[in-house]
Structure 1
Amino acid sequence: MASLLKTSSMSVRTKLIHQTGLSLYNTSHGFHEEELKTKLQEFPGGSIDLQKKENGIGILTLNNPSKRNAFSGVMMLQLLEKVTELENWTEGKGLIVHGAKNTFCSGSDLNAVKALATPEYGVALCMFMQNTLTRLMRLPLISVALVQGWALGGGAEFITACDFRLMTRESEIRFVHKEMGIVPSWGGATRLAEIIGSRPALKVLSGALKLDSEQALNLGMVDEVLQSSDGTECLEEAQEWLKQFVQGPPEVIRALKKSVSSGKELCFQEALQTERDLVGTLWGGPANLEAIARKGKFHK
């Protein structure tokens, strides 16, 4: 029997997807993370707040309302800290990301942008935020971006790192990078092309299109337009929407997310091996045996 369970060793790329606390970049890439972190500390303002609920749903809040929840340097650092915390939240099943005071995020704080306006800093910031949002995307949590008000620039990029996106009727998504003389730098162009296709993505980016809720829904960029516009009610509606996908034991929901992440990012054989490994952690386990017993009762 043991011979049937032998599998080839996991590839480096497979390990990278499923290990926690591991950066995409290191000094071999010319990236010195600690130096950049020291520099980002010079730009305070706002906060990233995280609430982990007993039902396994986390609420991540971008909180800098005086600047439409734009990311300060300190907020970028805090986001990485919260993602690391979520990587280690073994009871977690879902995550909702939203902005304070009825708006999502307007990108980066211009004070930090102006002070870091060199190609070297631009690439370093790019690598830092790509790392953070890729790790958020790979979390074994089913994630939802709740877009109220504006999701502009980096805010528009952020929502592409979540599994699903919900909008209110009055909200707007816009990739304004072209008008700033740059391209998306947090992984947003790559993820957008994967979500809606390369041709629609090129139109959205090159036209700096203003996408209202109906347009975003038609493009397949968002999954549903919410009924409410009130901040508190929207958050409650988003949680109810997410609950349909996170019902069940955390180990099952987390394994499902890992299997889909592997299928998206790994080659076919590596993804199949990941699926085998995940089956090995669940088959014959408590949730599986309980479900079998429950189904048996239904058929009597």
Structure 2
Amino acid sequence: MISHSHQSIWKITLVCYYNTFIKLLPYWNRTGEMAKSLLASSLSVRTKILQTGVSLYNTTHGFHEEEVKKILEQFPGGSIDLQKKQNGIGILTLNNSNKMNAFSGAMMLQLLERVIELENWTEGKGLIVHGAKNTFCSGSDLNAVKALSTPENGVALSMFMQNTLTRFMRLPLISVALVQGWAMGGGAELTTACDFRLMTEESVIRFVHKEMGIVPSWGGASRLVEIIGSRQALKVLSGTFKLDSKEALRIGLADEVLQPSDEATALEQAQEWLEQFVSGPAQVIRGLKKSVCSGRELYLEEALQNERDVLETLWGGPANLEAIAKKGKHTK
């Protein structure tokens, strides 16, 4: 039996708990609504970032793009050439052969310009990235690296190239890096921004950053983890391994090894390899790439919504109706 005094104390305690709950209820409701609002805002921002033509960084991140551009303009040399073919495949060429196609400041600026051009190429379906004269890219021009030796300049350059290569990666084009000769440092990072990597027998990919006393800073480490896994990526980065075509194929960094090593024949074979993935209407290929990008970068609910949004632009469209009219069997 519980005594009357204990019953009184218990009732008083319950009343106190109840009164406290009533007072806190509006606060909890507001907090819940605030949390939902913040989550919705976060999801909206993430989804918006995936849209083409949107920069990854701005002044709120401490990134002043125009100031960085003025610095990069001081280091001329080389070019980034773009050829857009009628079959919807683009050819992006790194052209600074006197320096093994190393990125000058001007080339970094041009790369962003070419990415913006590709963002607006609505007929595009695929893209091949390669270097002139049988060399992919040896990284950054050391003249620019030496001149930009302060941590502030290093971070500014990092943000500029992270922004450029992230926008490149999000292009609604299926991209292939054709690696001939060496792909080192920043050149190795560039290969990871492509959807696929083809190598010739003599080519080598090497992340030499550790030997330069730095780490990959153009997004290459993060993308490498996604491609080959964290354990393998740590080995590759910390061991500064020279990944020849066989080893790159073994660990999953390369997708195929092409037999010819001369520039023209390898480029022709790379186009033939890519055509198997970009055959069909441009809007469908671009929609598939967008869906894969959202699945990689967004939360599940956002990615599912993005799939529905892409489907809405295709369902009942010309390609869909034509396919239905043909009544083709897909088991052959």
What TM-score, normalized by structure 1, do the two folds share? 0.95
2:145 aligned with 1:120: no
1:21: Cα distance to partner? 2.1
Equivalent residue for 1:52?
84
Alpha-carbon separation, structure 1, partners of 2:289 and 2:150? 38
2:321 aligned with 1:289: yes
Alpha-carbon separation, structure 1, partners of 2:61 and 2:292? 28
Alpha-carbon separation, structure 2, partners of 1:194 and 1:117? 30
Equivalent residue for 1:17?
50
Alpha-carbon separation, structure 2, partners of 1:86 and 1:293? 33
1:296: Cα distance to partner? 6.3
Alpha-carbon separation, structure 2, partners of 1:217 and 1:93? 25
SS in 1 for 2:87: coil
Amino acid aligned to 2:112: L
Equivalent residue for 1:233?
265
Out of 172, 175, 180, the residue aligned to residue 204 of structure 2 is: 172
Flag as ranges the 4+ runs of structure 1 deviating above 6 A: none
Equivalent residue for 2:172?
140
Alpha-carbon separation, structure 2, partners of 1:284 and 1:45? 49
Alpha-carbon separation, structure 1, partners of 2:162 and 2:111? 12
Alpha-carbon separation, structure 2, partners of 1:204 and 1:212? 12
Equivalent residue for 2:277?
245
1:37: Cα distance to partner? 0.2
Equivalent residue for 1:81?
113
SS in 1 for 2:327: helix
SS in 2 for 1:146: strand
Quickly say closer, same or farther: Cα 1:297–1:119, change in 2 above 3 A: closer
2:53 aligned with 1:28: no
SS in 2 for 1:59: strand
Deviation digits for residues 134-187 of structure 1, max 9, x if unmatched?
000000000000000000000000000000000000000000000000000100
Alpha-carbon separation, structure 2, partners of 1:229 and 1:296? 39
Equivalent residue for 1:106?
138
Q: Any residues of structure 2 matched to 1:166-205 within 5 Å, and which?
A: 166-205=198-237
Equivalent residue for 2:69?
37
Q: Any residues of structure 2 matched to 1:263-278 within 5 Å, and which?
A: 263-278=295-310
1:297: Cα distance to partner? 9.8
Amino acid aligned to 1:72: S
Amino acid aligned to 1:230: D
Say which one has the larger Rg: 2
- Unaligned 5+ segments in structure 2 are 1-39
Alpha-carbon separation, structure 2, partners of 1:154 and 1:27? 25
Amino acid aligned to 2:323: A
Equivalent residue for 1:218?
250
Higher RCO structure, 1 or 2 (CA under 8 Å, sep 6+): 1
Deviation digits for residues 188-239 of structure 1, max 9, x if unmatched?
0000000000000000000000000000000000100001111000000000
Alpha-carbon separation, structure 2, partners of 1:204 and 1:122? 23
Percent identical: 79
1:11: Cα distance to partner? 1.7
- How many residues in Structure 1 have an aligned counterpart in Structure 2? 290
Alpha-carbon separation, structure 2, partners of 1:33 and 1:43? 16
Alpha-carbon separation, structure 2, partners of 1:21 and 1:297? 38
Amino acid aligned to 2:212: M
Alpha-carbon separation, structure 2, partners of 1:46 and 1:292? 49
2:288 aligned with 1:256: yes
SS in 2 for 1:50: strand
Alpha-carbon separation, structure 2, partners of 1:280 and 1:12? 22
Amino acid aligned to 1:131: N
Quickly say closer, same or farther: Cα 1:296–1:126, change in 2 above 3 A: closer
SS in 1 for 2:50: helix
Q: Please report the RMSD computed on the Cα atoms of aligned residues, expressed in angstroms.
A: 1.3
SS in 2 for 1:91: coil
Equivalent residue for 1:4?
none
Equivalent residue for 1:158?
190
